[in-house]
Structure 1
Amino acid sequence: MAEQLATMRVDYARTDELDVGDLAATWHEQLAAWLDEAITDGVAEPNAMVLATTDEDAKPTSRTVLCKGLDARGIVFYTNYTSVKSHQLRATRYASATFPWYAQHRQVHVRGNVELVTPAENAAYWASRPRGSQLGAWASAQSSEVRDRRVLDDALEAATQRFAGEEKVPPPPHWGGWRILPEQVEFWQGRRNRMHDRLRYELDAHSRIWRIRRLAP
């Protein structure tokens, strides 16, 4: 396996350059454009992003979540507020996320402070979820240890019976969204000979003005 890993290599053969003049005026417009291209090209789960958080001892944890909101304020994902990720976000108020579009030889990296989304935003997104996903949110005490799979199946069945007579499943009090408020958003595109294009939108902490910088690969 060590030899196989050493020889695994993809030739990033994109010929289109990515330069400052090719970018949209704002990071969120550029991210929306690349996301739209990923959707058009049939990328599997194009809104999937690897979310990284740290605990109070600076020990990192990463996992894949789904981006469910994008605008000038930031990017949004939803989760259980009792989960490990939520505990870490409450402790540090900071996170990063990476959209890995391997098939397109692209990725976007976002980092910044975090905030809870509003109750109105939670309610709007919750109403769009399939009933099964809503019941799953009630059934799962996310990140807690369970004895076996049957515990989860029984919890889902209990939630199903609990709301069997109700047309709409209400959102649990322990569920909702987080928003990453970007201070840096980097757009990466693969090029030959590992001379990749890296362009980063950076928010100046004092002037609150966004600037774009090219970084060496």
Structure 2
Amino acid sequence: MESVSSDLSGTEDLGQELAEHRVDYSDAGLDAADLAATPLEQFHRWWDDAAADLRISEPNAVVLATVDAGGLPDARTVLLKGADERGFVIYTNLGSAKARQLAAAPHAALVLPWHPQQRQVRVRGDVEQVSRAESAAYFASRPRGSQLGAHASQQSAEVASREELVRTYEEVAARYPEPGPVPLPDGWGGFLVRPVEIELWVGRRSRLHDRLVYVSVTGEPAPLDDAGAWRVLRRQP
């Protein structure tokens, strides 16, 4: 009984610590008059700030949220590898859980959490697979180890041990020796998130955060470099 009581006490301490943890936000704020005319230009401004900030180790780390066949939300951190007038691009094994979910329900949400700057970017939109040519061009730019890893890993599938995974990687490395190229795997590619809204969030004092949102005028995905396709609204925190 004593050990159970001790365990419960530790849980209570953690709960209290979580409840009492606070961060005081600055009050720099964000005003609609300061926004760029297009969401693409505004994203580039914030991206440049994040990429130059040494406190942010991976500025392109983005949380990707999907939904499974049962309607249960699923989320994970991936790396953003493209942002242009079409939208935002990520790459993955096409047999992975996220790829299967995106194929079945082609909608997604993204969050770029730039906490040290008290900023985040939230994106919601439709999803489509990018061309194999675009995937191949990006794949060719990856470090060789990452290319081999894409062949070795059947992402999201169960594996008996790490040793088995490493052994498969070594077999792939032997199949594609240097200095020869590593080809794009058949089951690997990119997904494009085409936004219907992009929210810019800035932390403010008293939790009165700023939330300014570019919303597609038609409610459908629109070019991110077309000022006439978007309107800006402010949401309550």
User: Shorter chain as normaliser: what TM range?
Assistant: over 0.9
Unaligned runs of 5+ in 1: none
Distance 1:144 1:120 in 2: 26
Q: Deviation digits for residues 41-100 of structure 1, max 9, x if unmatched?
A: 121100000000001321111000000000110000100000000000000110001000
- Counterparts in 2 of 1:155 and 1:107: CA distance versus 1, 3 Å: same
Q: Which residue of 2 aligns with 1:40?
A: 52
Matches within 5 A, 1:73-92: 73-92=86-105
Distance 1:135 1:206 in 2: 41
1:31 to 23, 43, 64: 43
Q: Does 1:140 align with 2:156?
A: no
Letter in 2 for 1:54: V
Q: Which residue of 1 aligns with 2:125?
A: 112
Equivalent residue of 2:200, what SS?
strand
Q: How many residues align?
A: 216
Unaligned runs of 5+ in 2: 1-13, 223-228
Q: Which residue of 2 aligns with 1:16?
A: 28
Larger radius of gyration: 2
TM score, norm. by length of structure 2: 0.88
Q: Does 1:159 align with 2:179?
A: no
Letter in 1 for 2:235: L
Distance 1:169 1:131 in 2: 7
Greater mean deviation of Cα atoms: 148-157 or 159-168: 159-168
Q: Which residue of 2 aligns with 1:96?
A: 109
TM score, norm. by length of structure 1: 0.96
Letter in 1 for 2:234: R
Greater mean deviation of Cα atoms: 203-212 or 184-193: 203-212
Q: Does 1:216 align with 2:228?
A: no
Distance 1:8 1:206 in 2: 38
Letter in 2 for 1:111: R
**Residue 198 of structure 2 contacts residue 215 of structure 2 at CA under 8 Å; is this kept in 1?**
yes
* Structure 1 outlier segments of 4+, above 6 Å: none
Q: Does 1:176 align with 2:186?
A: no
Q: Does 1:63 align with 2:83?
A: no
Shift of 1:206: 6.1
Distance 1:177 1:153 in 2: 25
Distance 1:139 1:191 in 2: 45
Identity of aligned residues (%): 50
